[in-house]
Amino acid sequence: MAIKRHNPHACDAWQLLVKFSFTQNTQVSPLAAELELSPAQCHVLRLLEPDKPIPMRQLADGLCCDASNVTGLVDRLESKGLVRRTASDEDRRVKVIELTPKGARLRAAFMERMAAPPEGLERLSVREQQTLVRILARLLE
Amino acid sequence: MAIKRHNPHACDAWQLLVKFSFTQNTQVSPLAAELELSPAQCHVLRLLEPDKPIPMRQLADGLCCDASNVTGLVDRLESKGLVRRTASDEDRRVKVIELTPKGARLRAAFMERMAAPPEGLERLSVREQQTLVRILARLLE
DNA sequence: TATTGTTATACTCTATAACTATA
DNA sequence: TATAGTTATAGAGTATAACAATA
């Protein structure tokens, strides 16, 4: 792979990030179960920032899945009282989805639990933490 | 959150990593479809390093799922000719799973595609890349 | 004509519970 | 008794195709 030959450190860093994301992803399931949600439902809640209603089409894009899935996904979240469907005024084909107060609370609980930093992070010096933030921000922008 | 007050940079870094892992995870689905696999099947292949057979129980642990799922998952991968079941000699309750040559090729294709570094990585200086590798390695060890 | 959301369908994933074989 | 793997079951996730309403 040409890129690897020319840029070994970039590839090392990327592989570590990818490995991390795989591991991190397996943590979603048990946490979701604890909150009585499915992993897919957690991903929907994650995409729904409080007070920012978005069309169902945009949810499908964010989940990288077919639009037909979103119907059932939103159905189940709505029956749990976590989200609301509203017809759009501008385009009457569109339905926008927003969190209910209950949904917003559950979303906050999920995000906080996912964002709980691991032990390892404490071992880094403040300077290293700052460096990491700066580099990641540029990398993921 | 006490940890956030005392350690804002650590939390910033962690939140960026978590956000990255969510985004990265959505990339698995389309890639899996391209390889004619399900996301779950890709995760099994990922856990099966070439020439390192592992018990089904260990697969369940790695996937953070119930052991009963692994039966069907391995069934389907086996019928595709990607993995092999073998009875263990030491403990006759155990079945160890290993990649077939075809499975190893598909695993390599998946891992290589997932590990393809993004544009942003090229924008970092070599020094920054090295720093990132060093910090991530300590963080994820 | 193209797009948004829905429905029907078929298949996969998943946890639970009950089971067999082995330790 | 405890553990590894299987089976049956029920519910959820998923893509495909066809559809109605709207743009």
Residue A55 binned pLDDT confidence (cut-offs 50, 70, 90): very high
Burial B80-110 (b: 16+ CB within 10 A, else e): eebbbeeeeeeeeeebbbbbeeebbebbeeb
* Contact check, Cβ <8 Å, B140/A120: yes
Q: Tell me, what's the pLDDT at B42?
A: 97
Residues in chain A with CB shorter than 8 Å from the CB of B115 are: 11, 14-15, 18
Give pLDDT tens digits for B55-94: 999 999 999 999 999 999 999 999 999 999 999 999 999 9
For chain A, say whether B57 makes contact (Cβ under 8 Å).
Answer: no
For chain B, say whether A67 makes contact (Cβ under 8 Å).
Answer: no
What's the mean pLDDT when you consider all of chain A? Answer: 89
Say whether A136 sits in a helix, a strand or coil: helix
Give pLDDT tens digits for A59-86: 999 999 999 999 999 999 999 999 999 9
For chain A, say whether B136 makes contact (Cβ under 8 Å).
Answer: yes
| Tokens describing residue A135 | 């580099």
CA distance B83 to B96: 10
Q: Tell me, what's the pLDDT at A11?
A: 74
Q: Between vectors from CA B101 to CA B98 and to CA B105, what angle results, nearest 5°?
A: 105
CA distance B65 to A14: 27
Q: Tell me, what's the pLDDT at B7?
A: 66
Cα torsion angle, B55, B43, A140, A97, sign: negative
Q: What is the mean pLDDT of residues B133-138?
A: 85
What's the mean pLDDT when you consider all of chain B? Answer: 89
* Contact check, Cβ <8 Å, B115/A18: yes
pTM over cut 0.85: yes
| Tokens describing residue B22 | 């969510």
